[in-house]
Amino acid sequence: MAPRWKGKAAEAKAVADPMSKILSRLQSSLIKSNSEGLLSGSSVLLSVHPEQNELLNYACFGRPIITAEKDIQWFQLSLEEAFYLCTVMKCIKIVGGNKCIKNEEELWDYMSSKKSNFPFLCKAYCHLRTKNWVVRAGSQYGVDFVAYRHHPALVHSEYAVLVLSEKEGNGNGRLSVWSDFHCTLRLCGSVAKTLLVLYIDKNGEGDFSPSCLEHYCVEERLVTRWNAERSREIQSCNSST
Amino acid sequence: MAPRWKGKAAEAKAVADPMSKILSRLQSSLIKSNSEGLLSGSSVLLSVHPEQNELLNYACFGRPIITAEKDIQWFQLSLEEAFYLCTVMKCIKIVGGNKCIKNEEELWDYMSSKKSNFPFLCKAYCHLRTKNWVVRAGSQYGVDFVAYRHHPALVHSEYAVLVLSEKEGNGNGRLSVWSDFHCTLRLCGSVAKTLLVLYIDKNGEGDFSPSCLEHYCVEERLVTRWNAERSREIQSCNSST
């Protein structure tokens, strides 16, 4: 399925300013200002300057929180977003209630304690983000994430992403019965998204430290209807499904 | 959600000829002709006369099979449909490969061996059919059944039905995680159906005989969005969700 741009101008705008460049600008800006996120339950609060506000919005991290403060904008980041900005992009630090900066291990422990499948969701999130996909929560479609080619204002999300793992069968128990499979595929079809299943294989590694993430293996499977037309000899031989 | 009739004439037609009457006519006709269904894998084949053909179609049992025979029409019944016609409506007999008529226990054993969750699906099917709902397979919506107020030619299906049980958690593992729940609800909403969850409680009975079916308890739960408007004092007090 081709990306569904929100108009020709949107596509041109995205091509002119690719997500990788936006992320670089965001990274430099956050590093320069020594940005610190504050652990708060199952999210991380980050205060930023107006310029960074725009960059965070454009790069689609977190959601802005309305406060009475004038020059500071607060953002609520999900655990995966915060972990990514902190440990992969290395552009923010994260502090706990005691104002001490948490190291990777401490963050990992805290986040895994808040969300039992955090290691898998985090791996999947980082996997897609490093490929410059914009990743947002997928709960409205009953999946873990949705992935956009660029900012949601410019393009519709292309993939509905389910993260499965070998843990306890398949992690969250999704797609283990046909009716669930049918339901998910039908819904994806009706909202014009392709179902992307990311199987996270721990390769025998435990959940004990963030360094395990590197050893986790991600297997990507697209689930689509098979189109018999595609195998006809008249069509290009390369367009196999 | 109100039933969505396919036009005014459709509603009038349904009111003039309610499903209960159609079922009575079908029952008398099948009894009169000593109809016999033939067990065939996971379905039952039934041959009928042209008049019964029309009644089976109108009552929505099975699906007609095209053959070269002129005066006989074959129908392929699902296991639940065949069990219902045989043991609840008592209007057909079912024979095995050896041409011997199967009693209820033999049918139950055969059908349960073909489909591990047959007892629950069967209870749910019978539960809805005895209330004169038209019940069809729901696989295209990722649920067990869909339920219609009358024939599908006259009205859209109103309910998407999931059958859960206490067996192994909840039978087929559906709705045990939020993402599945969100997915199912979103899909039901997009096809204008209400999610009906039938919880089958075995009341400690085993799966050993069809007589257990009577002791199975069915708990009906509708899952819908709560509409805050409904609780406002301006509205009728009776319209609670």
Q: What is the CATH number of the domain that holds B84?
A: 3.40.1170.20
Q: Which of A70, A99, A115 is at the close of a domain?
A: A115
Name the domain count of chain A.
2
Give the per-residue pLDDT at A173: 79
For A24-67, what is each residue's pLDDT tens digit? 999 999 999 999 999 999 999 999 998 899 999 999 999 999 88
C-alpha gyration radius of chain B: 19
> A167 near A202, Cβ under 8 Å?
yes
Sign for the pseudo-dihedral over CA of B82, B85, B86, B92: negative
In this complex, the residue of A139, A178, A186 whose CB is nearest that of residue B187 is: A186
B54, B155: one domain: no
What is the C-alpha separation between A128 and B209, in angstroms, rounded?
52
B132, B241: one domain: yes
What average pLDDT is seen over chain A?
A: 90
A98, A125: one domain: no
Interface check for B144 against chain A (CB to CB < 8 A): the answer is yes
Say how many CB pairs under 8 Å bridge A and B: 77
Asked whether residue B1 is domain-assigned, the answer is no
CATH number at residue B226: 3.40.1350.10
Q: Is B148 considered catalytic here?
A: yes
What is the C-alpha separation between A8 and B165, in angstroms, rounded?
51
Interface check for B189 against chain A (CB to CB < 8 A): the answer is no
Give the per-residue pLDDT at A152: 97
Chain A positions in Cβ-Cβ contact with residue B139 (cut-off 8 Å): 178-179, 182
| A167/A210: higher pLDDT | A210
Asked whether residue A34 is domain-assigned, the answer is yes
Asked whether residue A106 is domain-assigned, the answer is yes
Give the per-residue pLDDT at A88: 95
Chain B positions in Cβ-Cβ contact with residue A174 (cut-off 8 Å): 177, 179-180
Give the per-residue pLDDT at A241: 40
For A159-170, what is each residue's pLDDT tens digit? 999 999 876 555
Q: Is the pLDDT of residue A137 over 50?
A: yes
B69, B174: one domain: no
> B145 near B4, Cβ under 8 Å?
no
Give the per-residue pLDDT at A121: 95
Confidence label for A84 from pLDDT (cuts 50, 70 and 90): very high
Q: Is the pLDDT of residue A233 over 90?
A: no
As given in the structure block, the two tokens for residue B15 are: 């009111």
Give the per-residue pLDDT at A2: 85
List Cβ neighbours of B214 (8 Å cut-off, separation of 6 or more). Answer: none
Q: What is the mean pLDDT of each run of 10 residues along chain B (241 residues)?
A: 91 96 97 96 94 94 90 94 97 94 94 92 96 96 97 97 75 82 94 95 75 87 82 55 40
Confidence label for A184 from pLDDT (cuts 50, 70 and 90): very high
B175: left (phi over 0), alpha (psi -120 to 50) or beta: left
List the single best residue of B178, B183, B185, B191 to mutate versus A (max A Cβ within 10 A). Answer: B183
Q: Count CB neighbours of B180 within 10 A.
A: 25
Give the per-residue pLDDT at A204: 76
Confidence label for A227 from pLDDT (cuts 50, 70 and 90): confident
Return the minimum-mean-pLDDT range out of A26-35, A189-198, A209-218, B65-74. A209-218
Bridging pattern class, strands A93-95 and B145-148: unpaired
Asked whether residue A136 is domain-assigned, the answer is yes
Give the per-residue pLDDT at A232: 67
Bridging pattern class, strands B73-78 and B43-48: antiparallel
Which strands sit side by side in the sheet containing A36-40, from one edge to the other? Answer: A63-65, A73-78, A43-48, A36-40, A93-95
Mean pLDDT across the stretch A124-141?
Answer: 96
Phi/psi of residue A218, nearest 5 degrees = -110, 120
Chain A positions in Cβ-Cβ contact with residue B183 (cut-off 8 Å): 141-143, 180, 183-184, 187
As given in the structure block, the two tokens for residue B201 are: 């409680």
SS3 state at A215: helix
Quick check: A142 and B184 CB within 8 A? yes
B74, B192: one domain: no
Asked whether residue A5 is domain-assigned, the answer is no
Q: Which of B115, B147, B163 is at the close of a domain?
A: B115
Quick check: A186 and B162 CB within 8 A? no
> A62 near A78, Cβ under 8 Å?
yes
| pTM of structure | 0.85
Q: Which of B68, B85, B115 is at the close of a domain?
A: B115
Q: Count CB neighbours of A173 within 10 A.
A: 18
B210, B160: one domain: yes
A110, A212: one domain: no
Give the per-residue pLDDT at B209: 75
Chain B positions in Cβ-Cβ contact with residue A164 (cut-off 8 Å): none
Bridging pattern class, strands A36-40 and A43-48: antiparallel
Looking at the complex, report in whole angstroms how far the Cα of residue B189 sits from the nearest Cα belonging to chain A: 10
A144, A51: one domain: no
User: Residue B204: which of B229, B238, B167, B234 has the closest Cα?
Assistant: B167
Asked whether residue B75 is domain-assigned, the answer is yes
> B56 near B62, Cβ under 8 Å?
yes
The parent domain of residue A222 ranges over: 116-241
Give me the helix-helix angle, B104-114 and B118-130, nearest 10°.
120
CB-based burial of residue A241 (10 Å sphere; 0-12 exposed, 13-18 middle, 19+ buried)? exposed
